[in-house]
Structures are given as C-alpha cells and as structure tokens.
Structure 1
C-alpha cells in the first residue's frame, strides 16, 4: 500500500494520541525506521502496558483461543496474554505478514474489540504495523475487510527528529557526526538483493558496537562493523570518515579555504567521501529556485562553484559526481546545475 502522504515520528505520535484512542490504527513503513519502538513509547506515555503479537509467527488459535466445554456449552477461551482485566495497548506487529486465516481471526478483535465472549477492557488500544510490498519484506495482501477496519498512516524517516532522539539515547558521537554530514544516509530503500542496508535501526546497531569496542579500532575493524549493517557504499564512506577523524581534510576547512581537497592516490576513498558530503551540503544549503537566493546563499554558491572547479583539476570524475543525478531523489538545484555544467566541458577539454 502507498497512501501518498507520509508523517514523521512526532506527527505520528500526535495522530495516535487523537485517533488510536477511539479507532484501530495501522502504521505502514519500511523496516528499521522505528515503528515498533514508537508504539511501545506511545503506550508507555499513556501509562498502558504494551502487549506485542508478531503476525508472522501466529496461528489462528493464538488469537481466538481453543474451545472448552463449560456448563455443557462449547466456548472459545482466548490466550492469557490477550485476555486481561486492565486496559492495555495491543500491538499487532507485522500484521500483514499473517496468513489469510490469521487475518480473519483478527476481524472482530480489531473492529469490535472482542474475541468470542471476551471484550478488551475499556480504554484499551489496538495498533497494527507492517512493511510495504516494495520493501522486499515478507508481506501478504491484506483483505479489503481488514483494511476497512482501521485508519492507515505511513511513517517516514525524519533526520531532524532522529538527531534529537540520538542525543538523548547515547548514540555514538561518530555516528551522529557522520550522519550530520550525510543525513541522506540515515535510511535507504531496502535492496532487491540479500545485503545489509542503512536504516535508523542499523545505525543504532553500529553505534552499539562502537560503544562496546570503545577506542583503538583499526580501519579494518571499522570496515567490518560498517559493512555488517550498512548499505555497502555507506559503509565505505563511513570508513573514510573514520580514517579522517583526526586528519586535516575537514569539509568546513576546505570550504573556508584552509586546505584543498586531498589529491594523493592513497586518499581516494577520502576524496570520494568529501565529494559526496560536499554535494549533500550544496543540496541542503541552496534554495531550489534562484529567485529565493539570499546574500549568504549567493556567497555559498560562489564558493561552491570555485570548489567544483578545483575538484575537477584533481579528478574530473569526482567533480561530475557533484552535479550528477544519482537517482536517489536528491539533486542539485536546477539553476545551479546549469551554471556549473556550462563550465564542465571547458574543464574537461583542458585535461585532454
């Protein structure tokens, strides 16, 4: 499912506070962006225990229970984990990974808040979550009857909100510093092949490993850790970033003119990281429309053009990486690209 509009974690919390208390809600989104932890935090904020059921591991009897004879009459007894006397938040994680039979078992629980003769305690909340078909995850089509029993909302990753969370939760400073330079690396679309990919969860994993190793990690160890949980290209750039933590090639120093881009062959990986970080900074800083330019934008644009020319003298390939469309949805402002490309043929001709 693609709803066509996304909400951040903060917006989702407000949505749940006003909607989930009266109607069931289903949260769509790719893996690793914090759906489960957000629901658990939401329940905690309301003072409710959170009972999580993992849809991919459920059978129908795990929901409706098993029949028993009482006073000569057969009745279903729901599982103890569900049949509680005090209000709680029932979190149906990976609901759309359930079989069709399990989905049917949820119909009355979601719509009428009951299983057989058992009714959820007054004040209980039902929230579901799952991945989308395009996320290369295990999902099954959700029946129209089940879809129609819930509000639907789609969660997105907000780097700004993530940084606020990261500072409060002990995320390793190297991870924070890297992602401040490359916020576009916080999350990537799950790949079609079997390989790690970057998400807020995988960056958290890397942070935990770095915190355990503490200081003294070799570049080889950093690469092993990064490649074990991040998108391969992000892992290589994180290694280059780590290599330069105490080096002289800091992007702000290059922007200030204190140093130049590295030109040694041994620093090729570092040049690649700095080039793409420079590109990300241009996208972040310059307005999409030229008529929205302010004086600080004009000053930055002038300096950026000079640096791209300087970069092309070191490596035309790297200079072209700055202006190229990488197909990830983030591009330089059109007006800036046009101005730069006017110079690139001349610079390329000079190298021949």
Structure 2
C-alpha cells in the first residue's frame, strides 16, 4: 500500500482507540522506505506522544520489568518506557519498531502486550494505539520469522514505494529541488536494493534525504561533492546525480517565467524535469504572499510550453499536492485545464 494511504490507516487506527475498535498494525517493508518516519509524521499531525521501542535492543525483562520483594509477595517494577497515562498522557502511539529483528524470547514477551494490551498487571492506557514495523526476510537485515501466534495479533500492511508520495513529502520537508527533479527524471532510482549484491549504500527514500544534506554540505567542495553523494546513495546513483546537477547551469531564467515573460522550454528532458520541479518550489514559497495569484498564474501559463504536455500535467499535479485547493481559484488554471482536457480524459 502506498505511503499516503498508510498514513490514513495509521491515523484511523489511532482515532479508533476512542471507540474501542483499534487493531494493532504491522508495517512490513524494506530498509529505508520510511516506516518509522510515517509513524512519527502521524504522531506530529495528531499532536500526540510517541513512544518508540526498538525491540531488537530489548531483553525479555526489559518489557516484563524487574521483580522485587514486597512483604511476602514478589511484585514487578513496570518499565518506565511503557505508556503511562499520568506520565505520558491518556492518548498516544506505542511504536514497536524492528519487531522482526527481536529474538523469539522478546517477541514472545510482546504477545500479551500486543493482543491483550497488558503485561502481567500492567495495562496499556485505552487511548494508546499499538503499531509495529519490521523488515521482511530477504531484506538482508537481522530478521526472525514472525511466529504465527504473534502474526495473528496484527493487521498487516506492506509499505510500497510511490514517487508521487515521496515528492509531496520532499516538498513539504524542504528537500532540495534538484534532488526532487533528478528523481522525477530517474524514477527507478527512488529505491534500488538488491540483497544478493550485499550493498552498503543504496538509493532509498531515506538515503535520498542524506543526499540532500550532502549536497548542501559539500557543494562548494568539488573534489568531495561526487564522493559524498555516492556515500549516501551508492556509486552509480551518486555519479548520475552529480552529473545531473552539473547540467543545470543550462536552465532557463526562472525569474523571467515567474514574471510572466515569454521563455522557451528547454528541449532536453532532464532540464524540463528540473524546470518543472523548480517552479513547483517557487509556487510553494509564493503561497500566502501578496504575489501568490500572479506567481501561480504565470507558472500555470508556462505549463503549456513544455513539448510534452505530460510534463505540464506532472508539474501542475505536484503543485496541487503542494499548495492545495488554492490552485483552482487561479484564473489560468481553467485555461490550462481546457488545453489538456483530451489528455486527462484519455
């Protein structure tokens, strides 16, 4: 399932704790596809606490607690990391990450916590959702086969790779537009992982964020730049990204486009992707400014200049995802939509 849909699933599961309809969720996916980040994103949006427990680093006693003598009986000290209504709040998300990397003794200790929402005398507060995530066998991670009794305690979702969802996230989180443009141009490089080749650095949604950071740290060090990108996303992808960025000095004048001047679209397909992505970035920065209507209108007018109309459709679609419904109030939107109506219908 694509990440945008999974975000809705996790939000629904969190909200369903209030009605008693919550079912623990298990997210399956390869390394670096954004499983952990999606949960953090939902917690931030819902303004709710998130407790992230890495089960691969746990011992069974870390979940069950430590026994101590109380009179003639033995009591258990509840681990402080587990949700507590007084300390953490009545609502939240308990995230059991790396559950497939946990030894069987630890996953067995989690059985009762996940299904019955209790462990010994400890009980998970009613308003807390339980979400887990892990890598699949074959992803070259340290994984154990999930026992059937544990698997049967979850609803299971596979995290798919979706470029449109990643692009929407990238614009919202300030990822460099050159990285976005490159991945629009080389869509197959958003995620490329071959476990049989035993890669160390490889392209993934997570490692492209690292490349974004490397771009800003090493751009003024040409002797280090390409190597730094390769260190993040692998040799082949890093070399391609460096070459792509080097070619961008041939881009047309974006300020002229924003000002409504007549500017010819580049003939090179990689530069077209770069221009489209940069203009979406300009649209985002213009939102909520006095010039927003003018800027958005001029960008929409330019969408008709691309040799392939599909490029304009991609740009306007990204723009819509980034700035929302405001795009429909721009007069130039109707004109653009009329010109590509046959393409959209097809």
1:102 aligns with 2:106: yes
Q: Deviations over 1:72-125 (max 9, x none)?
A: 211222201115123321100000100000011001100011111011111111
Distance 1:45 1:224 in 2: 36
CA contact (8 A) 1:159 1:186 kept: yes
Q: For residue 163 of structure 1, what is the aligned residue in structure 2?
A: 167
Residue 19 of structure 1, CA deviation: 3.5
| Length-normalised TM-score, structure 2 | 0.68
Distance 1:238 1:96, change over 3 A: same
Question: Offset at 1:247?
Answer: 4.4
Secondary structure at the counterpart of residue 48 of structure 1: coil
Residue in 1 that maps onto 2:54 = 54
Q: CA deviation at 1:199?
A: 0.5
Q: Deviations over 1:210-244 (max 9, x none)?
A: 2234x5341x4221112101132212211221232
Of 8, 11, 36, which residue of structure 2 is paired with 1:17?
11
Q: Does 1:129 align with 2:133?
A: yes
Measured at CA, do residues 190 and 57 of structure 1 come closer, stay the same or move farther in structure 2, by a change above 3 Å? farther
Secondary structure of 2:178 counterpart: helix
Pick the structure with more helix per residue. 2
Aligned to 1:115: 119
Residue of structure 2 in register with 1:181 after alignment: 185
Cα RMSD (Å): 2.6
1:267-304 Cα shifts (integer Å, max 9, x gaps): xxxxxx99xx9xxxxxxxxxxxxxxxxxxxxx97xxxx
**1:37-52 matches, cutoff 5 A:** 37-52=37-52
1:287-324 CA-partner distances (Å, limit 9, x unpaired): xxxxxxxxxxxx97xxxxxxxxxxxxxxxxxxxxxxxx
Q: Map 1:224-303 to 2 at 5 A.
A: 224-247=227-250, 252-254=266-268
The range that moved more, 105-114 or 65-74, is: 65-74
Q: Residues of 2 paired with 1:207 and 1:25: CA distance?
A: 31
Contact 2:83 2:94 in 1 (8 A): no
2:212 corresponds to 1:207: yes
**Is the partner of 1:133 in helix, strand or coil?**
coil
What is the number of residues matched between the two proteins? 253
Q: Does 1:147 align with 2:151?
A: yes
Q: Distance in 2 between matches of 1:34 and 1:166?
A: 12
Moved more, 98-107 or 221-230: 221-230
Contact 1:64 1:78 in 2 (8 A): yes
The Cα shift of 1:168 comes to 1.7
| Unmatched runs of 5 consecutive residues or more in structure 1 | 1-6, 256-272, 278-298, 301-352
User: 2:200, 2:103 → 1: CA distance?
Assistant: 26
Q: Which residue is equivalent to 1:81?
A: 81
Contact 2:214 2:229 in 1 (8 A): no
In structure 2, what is the Cα distance between the partners aligned to 1:17 and 1:190? 32
SS at match of 2:75: strand
Structure-2 residue corresponding to 1:8: 2
Q: Secondary structure at the match of 2:133?
A: strand
Is the 8 Å Cα contact of residues 190 and 205 (structure 2) preserved in structure 1? yes
Once the two structures are superposed, residues 137-188 of structure 1 have per-residue CA deviations (whole angstroms, 9 ceiling, x without a partner) of 1111111000001111011121111111111211122211211211221111
CA contact 1:133–1:139 (8 Å) conserved in 2: yes
Point out 4+ residue stretches in structure 1 off by more than 6 angstroms. Answer: none
How high is the TM-score relative to the length of structure 1? Answer: 0.67
- Residue 171 of structure 1 aligns to a residue whose secondary structure is coil
- Equivalent residues of 1:78, 1:115 under 8 A apart: no
1:254 and 1:79, CA in 2 relative to 1: closer, same or farther beyond 3 A? closer
Q: 2:295 corresponds to which residue?
A: none
Q: Is the 8 A contact 1:59 1:102 kept in 2?
A: yes
